Chains A and B, each alone.
Chain A
Amino acid sequence: QQPVQSPQAVILREGEDAVINCSSSKALYSVHWYRQKHGEAPVFLMILLKGGEQKGHDKISASFNEKKQQSSLYLTASQLSYSGTYFCGTGLWANNNAGNMLTFGGGTRLMVKP
């Protein structure tokens, strides 16, 4: 079952902040965040592991609430280059042939306007 992302779309002005949420009904080992620009491949942003700390670099950070199986991606002081579709991917640690993969949410379209 794929994780649920919200919101589905968001429009921002440069400099504004945004939060994208990812929720799963399963016990997660990891949450991954990717950004995909139109016509390009998804690009890795960060990974959050069970038991790990909140991650971040520059003005993009993320958290992972293990109790709720939820992750949030925080984009602060947004720039035009942040525009794209953001996907969360969830990993279940399975010591069998059901693992070794990520299940992706439906994506959140982010548009940053000047």
Chain B
Amino acid sequence: KAGVTQTPRYLIKTRGQQVTLSCSPISGHRSVSWYQQTPGQGLQFLFEYFSETQRNKGNFPGRFSGRQFSNSRSEMNVSTLELGDSALYLCASSPAWAEAYGYTFGSGTRLTVV
């Protein structure tokens, strides 16, 4: 059974640019969540999608957005990149409710903003 696939693995962008990250969840999993991981802040929740609908959103500025497609694949977009956006972005898939089932994480996309 394939795991959670995130692309690309590494990304270097310049301040002001925008970036799109992709996540393919485990087959059959309908919930996709995104987290930002930094040494100082740990794992911070960005948003969660289920059946193409955003069900929950963390405390991040509107520059961070996402969407989910009918095949459960999800994308995350960050516009007008700032140096502070440098982080590991993790995608996590779950069959339904994370509280009950937990997550399977992807390997992440390491974003560096210069």
Chain A contact residue count (CB 8 A cutoff) = 28
Tell me whether A98 and B56 are in contact (CB under 8 A): yes
Chain B contact residue count (CB 8 A cutoff) = 25
- The DSSP consensus for interface residues of chain A is loop
Nearest residue, chain B, Cβ from A85: B42
Interface, chain B (partner A; CB < 8 A): 4, 31, 33, 35, 42-43, 45, 48, 50, 55-56, 58, 90, 97-108
Tell me whether A49 and B56 are in contact (CB under 8 A): no
Tell me whether B42 and A44 are in contact (CB under 8 A): no
Q: Which of A29, A40, A49, A104 is the most central at the interface, judged by chain B CB atoms within 10 Å of its CB?
A: A104
Binds B, one of A9-17, A19-27, A66-74, A87-95: A87-95
Shortest distance from the beta carbon of A16 to any chain B beta carbon, whole Å: 26
Q: Which of B42, B56, B97, B104 contacts A97 (CB 8 A)?
A: B56
